[in-house]
Amino acid sequence: MSINTISPSTGSTIFTHPGVAPAELDLILSTAASSFASYKKTTLSQRKTWITAALDRMAGLKETLSQELTAQMGRPAAFAGVEIDTMRKRADYMLSIAEDKLADMPGQAEEGFKRWTSQEPVGPVLIISAWNFPYLITINTIVPALLAGCPVILKPSPQTPLVADRFLAAFSAAGLPAGVFQVLHTGSLKTVQIAAQHPAVQQVCFTGPTAGGLAMKKATVDRVVGVNLELGGKDPAYVRADADLKWTAANIVDGAVFNSGQSCCAIERVYVHADVHDAFVVELQKELEGYKLGDPAAKATTVGPVISAAAVKAITAQVDDALVKGAVDATPANATFQTLPASGSYIAPRLLTNVNHDMAVMTAETFGPIIPVMKVASDEEAVALMNDSEYGLTASIWTRDVARGEEIGADVEAGTLFVNRCDCPNPDLAWVGWKNSGLGCTLGPRGFDAFVKLRSHHIRLTHG
């Protein structure tokens, strides 16, 4: 079955990829297994050389890759290139720590013995990526997997198929042995589940909605195999009474609206201390007045479409639910928000006040450019509301008192705590979700953990 990629900015089909037939799937899986036997014996130095060469090739195609991103998933052209640069920064960090993090770990010294623990590659890895930040999400796992000595089968989102093809071409040109990096193009959950259940696959990495992650976990329930999940979020921000309101508003609007809110770590709910609530809403309105919604190919556009008509419907349903239950639409006048493009999946940013946790917009993942703002009376109330969620990816606290921000943050249930920052995964820190936001981690000093298994070596130096 062919896979059709629909442009979110026009609604028309822009790419068609052939899907993988059952016989082709079997070949991909058997090839991964056979390539592992030789690839695991290559040196770390050689792996780094191949990966660096591939990354250099992709850097040379930055403008092309950026244009393809805009076409496939609708990110404004003014921002698309940043993803290619950030991808390289993440990869370079993992390359820089690989020798140290993959090194043998010595045991205690004892006369007549040698003991150590080595880190061995787990084997072929199935990586299921997502469309919203496809280069960043993919690089988080393929680089540490390949560095550890694991062949990779990459299943890209049908929305961004060219991303996988670009990686495949770059690794091939770099001289990576054939079969070590393969692409699985499919839009079928059943096909992906079959791949995850195959004995060749020794690690599954999934990025996407929580329901999809649970489906992958169930697919491997009868196997002793690792499953790494990067899932959804409903990330909160808390604005304390001492915050610089104008500066904080600029950061929060960016954190909520960038990429049309389609980020697992976008700000999706905002709690503001009652003493500054009204003034802060005014600053949010001023900030939103400067945004421009429109054709993502236009350099002046700051808000493009969301990914599909189905997404528009789901986001609109959350807004309508909130308004019916008493929320106030405080969105400022903005001509580009009033007249949407005639075709494509566009939805204007919305600023909602008088919201509460009886509304889906404050509890369910939105994945759209909506900013719901709730008034709170104290730090304690803010923390209780921030934790009143099934998700726990990131949370941010905005205050001039950084020490107090850290103190409050200690009680917040989230894998990443930001103080005076948001929506900014750093390569040197673990990217990890708590609660229903994930399992395992990528990036940071533990970013190789999913791709290695430990072997203990206990050697007596004499015999007899």
Give the burial class of 294: count Cβ atoms within 10 A of its Cβ; 0-12 exposed, 13-18 middle, 19 or more buried: buried
| HEC letters along 63-115 | HHHHHHHHHHHCCCHHHHHHHHHHHHHHHHHHHHHHHHHCCCEECCCCCCEEE
∠ CA 452-456-462, nearest 5°, is: 150
In DSSP terms, 441 is beta-bridged to 432
Task: Check the CA dihedral 347-351-354-355 and report its sign.
Answer: positive
Half-sphere CA count of 160, side-chain side, radius 13 A: 29
Contacts of the segment 106-113: beta carbons below 8 A, 24+ positions apart: 107/458, 112/460, 112/461, 112/462, 113/458, 113/459, 113/460, 113/461
| Residue 121 three-state SS | strand
Check residue 199 and report its DSSP letter: T
Q: Which residues, 6+ apart, have CB-to-CB distance to 462 below 8 Å?
A: 112
Helix (H) or strand (E) holding 54: helix 44-59
How far apart are alpha carbons 273 and 243 in whole angstroms? 10
How far apart are alpha carbons 68 and 60 in whole angstroms? 14
Residues with active-site annotation: 230, 264
How far apart are alpha carbons 188 and 172 in whole angstroms? 26
